[in-house]
Amino acid sequence: MAGNSFGEIFRITTFGESHGKAIGVVIDGCPAGLEVDMEFIAQQLQRRKPGQSAITTQRKESEAFEIISGIFEGKTEGSPITMLIRNEDQKPQDYEHLKEAYRPSHADFTYETKYGIRDYRGGGRSSARETAARVMAGAMAQLLLTKEGISISAYVSQVGNLKLEKDYSELNLSATDSNPVRCPDEATARQMIELIEATKAKGDTIGGIVSAVIQGCPVGLGEPVFDKLHADLAKAMLSINAVHGFEYGSGFKGSSKYGSENNDIYTTDANKKIITTTNHSGGIQGGISNGMDIYFNVAFKPVATLMQPQMTVTKEGAETEIKGKGRHDPCVVPRAVPIVEAMAALVIADHLLRLRSAKW
Protein backbone atom coordinates (compact mmCIF):
# COMPACT_ATOMS: atom_id res chain seq x y z
CA MET A 1 0.00 0.00 0.00
CA ALA A 2 2.71 2.51 0.91
CA GLY A 3 4.75 1.24 -2.00
CA ASN A 4 7.85 -0.21 -0.41
CA SER A 5 7.03 -3.82 -1.19
CA PHE A 6 7.24 -5.73 -4.45
CA GLY A 7 6.12 -9.21 -5.45
CA GLU A 8 3.25 -11.42 -4.39
CA ILE A 9 4.78 -14.65 -3.09
CA PHE A 10 8.49 -13.86 -3.30
CA ARG A 11 7.87 -10.48 -1.73
CA ILE A 12 10.44 -7.89 -0.78
CA THR A 13 10.18 -4.76 1.33
CA THR A 14 13.06 -2.32 1.15
CA PHE A 15 13.83 0.34 3.74
CA GLY A 16 16.34 3.00 4.57
CA GLU A 17 17.35 6.49 3.55
CA SER A 18 20.45 7.56 1.70
CA HIS A 19 22.04 9.15 4.75
CA GLY A 20 20.21 7.30 7.50
CA LYS A 21 21.78 4.50 9.51
CA ALA A 22 21.40 1.76 6.97
CA ILE A 23 19.49 0.53 4.01
CA GLY A 24 18.15 -2.97 3.71
CA VAL A 25 15.53 -5.40 2.61
CA VAL A 26 13.27 -8.07 4.03
CA ILE A 27 12.40 -10.94 1.70
CA ASP A 28 9.28 -12.73 2.81
CA GLY A 29 8.33 -15.80 0.85
CA CYS A 30 11.68 -17.16 -0.24
CA PRO A 31 11.22 -20.93 -0.16
CA ALA A 32 13.21 -22.94 2.38
CA GLY A 33 16.16 -25.11 1.58
CA LEU A 34 18.05 -22.87 -0.79
CA GLU A 35 21.81 -22.68 -0.30
CA VAL A 36 22.91 -19.08 0.04
CA ASP A 37 25.95 -18.10 -1.94
CA MET A 38 27.24 -15.07 -0.02
CA GLU A 39 29.96 -14.55 -2.56
CA PHE A 40 27.43 -14.13 -5.33
CA ILE A 41 25.42 -11.56 -3.40
CA ALA A 42 28.59 -9.61 -2.59
CA GLN A 43 29.57 -9.72 -6.24
CA GLN A 44 26.25 -8.28 -7.41
CA LEU A 45 26.51 -5.48 -4.88
CA GLN A 46 30.03 -4.86 -6.09
CA ARG A 47 28.72 -4.44 -9.64
CA ARG A 48 26.22 -1.79 -8.53
CA LYS A 49 28.71 -0.06 -6.24
CA PRO A 50 29.73 3.52 -6.96
CA GLY A 51 33.35 4.32 -7.49
CA GLN A 52 34.13 1.34 -9.68
CA SER A 53 35.63 3.40 -12.44
CA ALA A 54 36.27 6.90 -13.65
CA ILE A 55 32.86 7.08 -15.31
CA THR A 56 30.82 6.47 -12.18
CA THR A 57 30.26 8.46 -8.99
CA GLN A 58 33.13 8.42 -6.53
CA ARG A 59 30.87 8.13 -3.50
CA LYS A 60 32.27 5.30 -1.45
CA GLU A 61 29.50 3.02 -0.32
CA SER A 62 30.27 0.18 1.97
CA GLU A 63 30.00 -3.13 0.26
CA ALA A 64 29.59 -4.92 3.56
CA PHE A 65 26.16 -6.43 3.90
CA GLU A 66 24.94 -8.35 6.89
CA ILE A 67 22.31 -11.07 6.93
CA ILE A 68 20.17 -10.50 10.00
CA SER A 69 17.64 -13.30 9.71
CA GLY A 70 16.25 -16.15 7.69
CA ILE A 71 19.39 -18.17 7.04
CA PHE A 72 20.28 -21.21 9.14
CA GLU A 73 23.40 -23.23 8.57
CA GLY A 74 23.87 -21.66 5.16
CA LYS A 75 20.37 -22.31 3.89
CA THR A 76 17.14 -20.38 3.69
CA GLU A 77 14.83 -21.60 6.41
CA GLY A 78 11.49 -20.29 5.16
CA SER A 79 11.39 -17.27 7.46
CA PRO A 80 11.96 -13.64 6.40
CA ILE A 81 15.45 -12.95 5.14
CA THR A 82 16.71 -9.56 6.23
CA MET A 83 19.82 -8.00 4.74
CA LEU A 84 21.38 -4.76 5.86
CA ILE A 85 24.08 -2.40 4.66
CA ARG A 86 25.22 0.28 7.06
CA ASN A 87 25.62 3.69 5.50
CA GLU A 88 29.16 5.00 5.66
CA ASP A 89 31.21 7.73 4.03
CA GLN A 90 28.31 10.08 4.46
CA LYS A 91 28.98 13.71 3.81
CA PRO A 92 25.74 15.35 4.90
CA GLN A 93 27.43 18.74 4.62
CA ASP A 94 27.30 18.17 0.85
CA TYR A 95 23.55 18.46 1.17
CA GLU A 96 23.13 21.24 3.71
CA HIS A 97 22.57 23.71 0.87
CA LEU A 98 19.60 21.63 -0.31
CA LYS A 99 17.66 22.08 2.88
CA GLU A 100 15.82 25.05 1.46
CA ALA A 101 16.00 24.54 -2.29
CA TYR A 102 14.37 21.98 -4.55
CA ARG A 103 16.78 20.30 -6.93
CA PRO A 104 15.44 20.33 -10.50
CA SER A 105 13.99 17.00 -11.70
CA HIS A 106 14.54 15.42 -8.30
CA ALA A 107 11.93 14.26 -5.78
CA ASP A 108 12.56 17.06 -3.29
CA PHE A 109 9.48 19.07 -4.11
CA THR A 110 7.07 16.17 -4.51
CA TYR A 111 8.17 14.40 -1.30
CA GLU A 112 7.98 17.55 0.76
CA THR A 113 4.53 18.39 -0.55
CA LYS A 114 3.23 14.87 -0.14
CA TYR A 115 4.60 14.18 3.33
CA GLY A 116 5.02 17.66 4.79
CA ILE A 117 8.55 16.66 5.77
CA ARG A 118 11.69 15.86 3.79
CA ASP A 119 15.00 14.24 4.51
CA TYR A 120 17.09 16.55 2.35
CA ARG A 121 20.31 14.60 2.82
CA GLY A 122 21.04 13.04 -0.53
CA GLY A 123 17.42 12.60 -1.43
CA GLY A 124 16.62 10.52 1.65
CA ARG A 125 14.31 7.71 0.68
CA SER A 126 14.17 8.82 -2.97
CA SER A 127 17.90 8.23 -3.46
CA ALA A 128 19.10 5.52 -5.83
CA ARG A 129 21.00 4.26 -2.79
CA GLU A 130 17.81 2.24 -2.21
CA THR A 131 18.57 0.10 -5.24
CA ALA A 132 21.38 -1.62 -3.34
CA ALA A 133 18.65 -3.30 -1.32
CA ARG A 134 17.04 -4.46 -4.55
CA VAL A 135 20.33 -5.88 -5.77
CA MET A 136 20.75 -7.96 -2.61
CA ALA A 137 17.21 -9.29 -2.87
CA GLY A 138 17.57 -9.84 -6.59
CA ALA A 139 20.72 -11.86 -5.99
CA MET A 140 18.75 -14.16 -3.70
CA ALA A 141 16.15 -14.52 -6.45
CA GLN A 142 18.87 -15.24 -8.99
CA LEU A 143 20.11 -18.11 -6.82
CA LEU A 144 16.69 -19.70 -7.27
CA LEU A 145 16.62 -19.03 -10.98
CA THR A 146 20.01 -20.57 -11.50
CA LYS A 147 18.71 -23.79 -9.98
CA GLU A 148 15.89 -23.72 -12.53
CA GLY A 149 18.24 -23.10 -15.41
CA ILE A 150 17.11 -19.52 -15.96
CA SER A 151 19.65 -16.80 -16.71
CA ILE A 152 19.27 -13.03 -16.92
CA SER A 153 21.73 -10.81 -18.80
CA ALA A 154 21.47 -7.06 -19.01
CA TYR A 155 23.84 -4.71 -20.80
CA VAL A 156 24.13 -1.13 -21.96
CA SER A 157 22.81 -0.72 -25.50
CA GLN A 158 22.70 3.06 -25.74
CA VAL A 159 24.40 6.10 -24.22
CA GLY A 160 23.17 9.43 -25.53
CA ASN A 161 22.93 9.09 -29.27
CA LEU A 162 25.35 6.15 -29.41
CA LYS A 163 23.25 3.10 -30.14
CA LEU A 164 24.37 -0.48 -30.26
CA GLU A 165 22.55 -1.56 -33.39
CA LYS A 166 23.09 -5.28 -32.84
CA ASP A 167 20.52 -7.65 -31.48
CA TYR A 168 21.34 -9.49 -28.24
CA SER A 169 21.75 -12.69 -30.21
CA GLU A 170 24.67 -11.20 -32.10
CA LEU A 171 26.50 -10.19 -28.92
CA ASN A 172 28.79 -12.00 -26.56
CA LEU A 173 26.92 -11.21 -23.36
CA SER A 174 29.64 -12.71 -21.19
CA ALA A 175 31.79 -9.77 -22.25
CA THR A 176 29.44 -7.20 -20.72
CA ASP A 177 31.48 -6.68 -17.57
CA SER A 178 34.79 -6.51 -19.40
CA ASN A 179 34.52 -2.75 -19.78
CA PRO A 180 33.30 -0.09 -17.34
CA VAL A 181 30.33 0.98 -19.43
CA ARG A 182 29.01 -2.59 -19.59
CA CYS A 183 28.41 -2.64 -23.32
CA PRO A 184 29.32 -6.06 -24.74
CA ASP A 185 30.49 -4.59 -28.05
CA GLU A 186 34.03 -3.40 -27.44
CA ALA A 187 34.11 -0.75 -30.18
CA THR A 188 30.82 0.82 -29.14
CA ALA A 189 31.87 0.61 -25.50
CA ARG A 190 34.95 2.70 -26.19
CA GLN A 191 32.87 5.39 -27.85
CA MET A 192 30.38 5.37 -25.00
CA ILE A 193 33.14 5.80 -22.44
CA GLU A 194 34.51 8.73 -24.36
CA LEU A 195 31.09 10.31 -24.54
CA ILE A 196 30.53 9.89 -20.81
CA GLU A 197 33.95 11.33 -20.01
CA ALA A 198 33.32 14.31 -22.23
CA THR A 199 29.93 14.80 -20.63
CA LYS A 200 31.42 14.62 -17.16
CA ALA A 201 34.07 17.14 -18.10
CA LYS A 202 31.29 19.61 -18.93
CA GLY A 203 29.64 19.01 -15.58
CA ASP A 204 26.74 17.51 -17.46
CA THR A 205 25.05 14.10 -17.47
CA ILE A 206 23.62 11.89 -20.17
CA GLY A 207 20.89 9.28 -20.57
CA GLY A 208 20.99 5.77 -21.98
CA ILE A 209 19.30 2.43 -22.46
CA VAL A 210 19.79 -0.92 -20.75
CA SER A 211 18.72 -3.99 -22.67
CA ALA A 212 18.13 -7.36 -21.09
CA VAL A 213 17.40 -10.95 -22.04
CA ILE A 214 15.98 -13.72 -19.87
CA GLN A 215 16.70 -17.23 -21.08
CA GLY A 216 15.50 -20.62 -19.98
CA CYS A 217 12.05 -19.74 -18.65
CA PRO A 218 9.43 -22.48 -18.67
CA VAL A 219 6.14 -21.92 -20.49
CA GLY A 220 3.51 -20.51 -18.14
CA LEU A 221 5.01 -17.57 -16.24
CA GLY A 222 2.62 -14.64 -15.92
CA GLU A 223 -0.97 -14.28 -14.82
CA PRO A 224 -3.85 -13.04 -16.91
CA VAL A 225 -5.12 -10.42 -17.14
CA PHE A 226 -3.46 -7.66 -15.08
CA ASP A 227 -0.34 -9.47 -13.92
CA LYS A 228 0.89 -10.29 -17.37
CA LEU A 229 4.55 -11.14 -17.21
CA HIS A 230 5.54 -8.13 -19.27
CA ALA A 231 3.26 -5.85 -17.22
CA ASP A 232 5.07 -6.92 -14.07
CA LEU A 233 8.43 -6.49 -15.78
CA ALA A 234 7.36 -3.03 -16.91
CA LYS A 235 6.39 -2.02 -13.41
CA ALA A 236 9.61 -3.46 -12.03
CA MET A 237 11.70 -1.49 -14.49
CA LEU A 238 9.76 1.76 -14.23
CA SER A 239 10.17 1.56 -10.46
CA ILE A 240 13.94 1.97 -10.89
CA ASN A 241 15.12 5.56 -10.42
CA ALA A 242 15.39 7.59 -13.65
CA VAL A 243 13.59 5.08 -15.89
CA HIS A 244 11.23 6.72 -18.38
CA GLY A 245 10.34 3.90 -20.72
CA PHE A 246 10.00 0.16 -21.26
CA GLU A 247 9.40 -1.99 -24.31
CA TYR A 248 9.60 -5.73 -24.89
CA GLY A 249 9.61 -7.89 -27.97
CA SER A 250 8.96 -5.79 -31.05
CA GLY A 251 8.24 -2.84 -28.75
CA PHE A 252 7.68 0.63 -30.15
CA LYS A 253 8.97 -0.50 -33.51
CA GLY A 254 6.21 -3.11 -33.60
CA SER A 255 3.69 -0.29 -33.79
CA SER A 256 4.88 0.41 -37.34
CA LYS A 257 4.54 -3.18 -38.46
CA TYR A 258 1.94 -5.23 -40.24
CA GLY A 259 0.58 -8.29 -38.50
CA SER A 260 1.98 -10.43 -41.30
CA GLU A 261 5.46 -9.11 -40.44
CA ASN A 262 5.13 -9.16 -36.68
CA ASN A 263 3.42 -12.50 -36.02
CA ASP A 264 5.53 -15.40 -34.79
CA ILE A 265 4.81 -18.64 -36.58
CA TYR A 266 4.77 -21.83 -34.51
CA THR A 267 6.84 -24.82 -35.47
CA THR A 268 8.64 -27.60 -33.63
CA ASP A 269 12.32 -28.03 -32.94
CA ALA A 270 14.38 -31.18 -33.28
CA ASN A 271 13.00 -32.45 -29.96
CA LYS A 272 9.39 -31.90 -31.04
CA LYS A 273 9.16 -28.98 -28.66
CA ILE A 274 6.83 -26.25 -29.86
CA ILE A 275 8.76 -23.06 -30.62
CA THR A 276 8.29 -20.00 -32.79
CA THR A 277 10.35 -19.30 -35.89
CA THR A 278 10.68 -15.61 -35.01
CA ASN A 279 10.31 -13.95 -31.62
CA HIS A 280 8.67 -10.56 -32.08
CA SER A 281 6.51 -11.53 -29.10
CA GLY A 282 9.58 -11.28 -26.88
CA GLY A 283 8.94 -14.66 -25.33
CA ILE A 284 5.52 -13.68 -23.94
CA GLN A 285 2.10 -14.31 -25.49
CA GLY A 286 -1.12 -13.28 -23.81
CA GLY A 287 0.99 -12.17 -20.86
CA ILE A 288 2.42 -15.64 -20.32
CA SER A 289 5.92 -16.85 -21.16
CA ASN A 290 6.07 -19.18 -24.15
CA GLY A 291 9.53 -20.62 -23.52
CA MET A 292 11.36 -18.39 -26.01
CA ASP A 293 13.83 -15.70 -24.90
CA ILE A 294 12.30 -12.75 -23.09
CA TYR A 295 13.98 -9.50 -24.06
CA PHE A 296 13.29 -5.87 -23.33
CA ASN A 297 14.71 -2.33 -23.28
CA VAL A 298 14.71 0.09 -20.40
CA ALA A 299 15.12 3.83 -21.06
CA PHE A 300 16.97 5.94 -18.49
CA LYS A 301 16.85 9.72 -18.50
CA PRO A 302 20.06 11.63 -17.77
CA VAL A 303 20.97 11.98 -14.08
CA ALA A 304 19.32 15.10 -12.67
CA THR A 305 22.22 16.27 -10.51
CA LEU A 306 24.53 18.45 -12.58
CA MET A 307 27.90 19.95 -11.72
CA GLN A 308 26.65 23.14 -13.35
CA PRO A 309 24.61 25.90 -11.81
CA GLN A 310 20.85 25.60 -12.34
CA MET A 311 18.05 27.89 -11.32
CA THR A 312 15.35 26.65 -8.97
CA VAL A 313 13.07 27.85 -6.17
CA THR A 314 12.97 27.46 -2.41
CA LYS A 315 10.07 26.11 -0.45
CA GLU A 316 8.74 29.64 -0.27
CA GLY A 317 8.98 30.01 -4.03
CA ALA A 318 11.98 32.36 -4.05
CA GLU A 319 14.39 31.94 -6.94
CA THR A 320 17.81 30.57 -6.12
CA GLU A 321 20.75 28.99 -7.88
CA ILE A 322 21.86 25.48 -7.14
CA LYS A 323 24.83 23.34 -8.16
CA GLY A 324 25.59 19.70 -7.46
CA LYS A 325 28.17 19.07 -4.80
CA GLY A 326 29.77 15.86 -3.88
CA ARG A 327 29.93 12.77 -6.02
CA HIS A 328 27.46 11.85 -8.72
CA ASP A 329 27.24 9.67 -11.80
CA PRO A 330 27.54 11.42 -15.15
CA CYS A 331 25.63 8.48 -16.67
CA VAL A 332 23.63 5.98 -14.70
CA VAL A 333 23.28 3.08 -17.12
CA PRO A 334 26.53 1.18 -16.42
CA ARG A 335 25.61 0.81 -12.76
CA ALA A 336 21.96 0.19 -13.65
CA VAL A 337 22.81 -3.10 -15.36
CA PRO A 338 22.82 -5.20 -12.15
CA ILE A 339 19.73 -3.33 -10.92
CA VAL A 340 17.78 -4.25 -14.06
CA GLU A 341 18.92 -7.85 -13.64
CA ALA A 342 17.88 -7.84 -10.00
CA MET A 343 14.40 -6.51 -10.69
CA ALA A 344 13.94 -8.97 -13.52
CA ALA A 345 15.02 -11.82 -11.25
CA LEU A 346 12.49 -10.76 -8.62
CA VAL A 347 9.69 -10.80 -11.19
CA ILE A 348 10.63 -14.21 -12.54
CA ALA A 349 11.14 -15.82 -9.12
CA ASP A 350 7.77 -14.55 -7.99
CA HIS A 351 6.02 -15.89 -11.08
CA LEU A 352 7.76 -19.24 -10.80
CA LEU A 353 6.16 -19.60 -7.37
CA ARG A 354 2.83 -18.31 -8.62
CA LEU A 355 2.88 -20.89 -11.39
CA ARG A 356 2.79 -23.61 -8.75
CA SER A 357 -0.87 -22.81 -8.13
CA ALA A 358 -2.02 -22.86 -11.75
CA LYS A 359 -3.25 -26.43 -11.85
CA TRP A 360 -4.73 -28.74 -9.30
Looking only at residues 250 through 279 of this chain, which bind a second copy when binding is defined by CB under 8 A? 250-252, 254-268, 272, 274, 276
In this chain, which stretch among 15-23, 50-58, 89-97, 171-179 interacts with a second copy, using CB under 8 A? 15-23
Applying CB under 8 A, among 158, 176, 188, 211 the residue interacting with a second copy is 158
Smaller CB separation from a second copy, 167 or 172: 167
Give how many residues touch a second copy by CB under 8 A.
Answer: 155
Is residue 355 within 8 Å of residue 221, measured between CB atoms?
Answer: yes
- Minimum separation from the CB atom of position 254 to a second copy (A): 4
The radius of gyration computed from the CA coordinates of the chain, to the nearest angstrom, equals 21
Looking only at residues 321 through 350 of this chain, which bind a second copy when binding is defined by CB under 8 A? none
Q: At CB < 8 A and 24+ separation, what contacts does 96-101 make?
A: 97/322, 97/325, 98/322, 100/314, 100/315, 100/320, 101/312, 101/313, 101/314, 101/320, 101/322
- Asked if 191 touches a second copy (CB under 8 A), the answer is no
Applying CB under 8 A, among 245, 293, 326, 327 the residue interacting with a second copy is 245
- Minimum separation from the CB atom of position 180 to a second copy (A): 19
Applying CB under 8 A, among 55, 59, 300, 337 the residue interacting with a second copy is 300
- Asked if 216 touches a second copy (CB under 8 A), the answer is no
Is residue 352 within 8 Å of residue 345, measured between CB atoms?
Answer: no
Applying CB under 8 A, among 52, 58, 79, 191 the residue interacting with a second copy is 79
In this chain, which stretch among 7-15, 39-47, 169-177, 334-342 interacts with a second copy, using CB under 8 A? 7-15
Looking only at residues 123 through 152 of this chain, which bind a second copy when binding is defined by CB under 8 A? 123-126, 130, 144, 147
Smaller CB separation from a second copy, 9 or 175: 9
Do the bridges between strand 71-72 and strand 65-69 make them parallel or antiparallel, or are there none, so unpaired?
unpaired
Is residue 61 within 8 Å of residue 86, measured between CB atoms?
Answer: no
- Minimum separation from the CB atom of position 350 to a second copy (A): 10
- Asked if 105 touches a second copy (CB under 8 A), the answer is yes
341's enclosing H/E stretch is helix 333-355
Do the bridges between strand 22-28 and strand 11-15 make them parallel or antiparallel, or are there none, so unpaired?
antiparallel
- Minimum separation from the CB atom of position 45 to a second copy (A): 18
- Asked if 110 touches a second copy (CB under 8 A), the answer is yes
Handedness of CA 351, 216, 258, 156 (dihedral sign): positive
350's enclosing H/E stretch is helix 333-355
Applying CB under 8 A, among 313, 325, 326, 327 the residue interacting with a second copy is 313
- Asked if 180 touches a second copy (CB under 8 A), the answer is no
Is residue 155 within 8 Å of residue 210, measured between CB atoms?
Answer: yes
How remote is the C-alpha of 81 from its chain's centroid? 20
Q: Which amino acid is at 200?
A: K
In this chain, which stretch among 41-49, 153-161, 171-179, 180-188 interacts with a second copy, using CB under 8 A? 153-161
In this chain, which stretch among 50-58, 97-105, 173-181, 184-192 interacts with a second copy, using CB under 8 A? 97-105
- Alpha carbon distance 293, 82 (integer Å): 32
| Bond into 213 cis (ω within 30) | no
- Asked if 75 touches a second copy (CB under 8 A), the answer is yes
* 23: phi then psi, degrees, rounded to nearest 5: -120, 160
In this chain, which stretch among 47-55, 167-175, 185-193, 219-227 interacts with a second copy, using CB under 8 A? 219-227
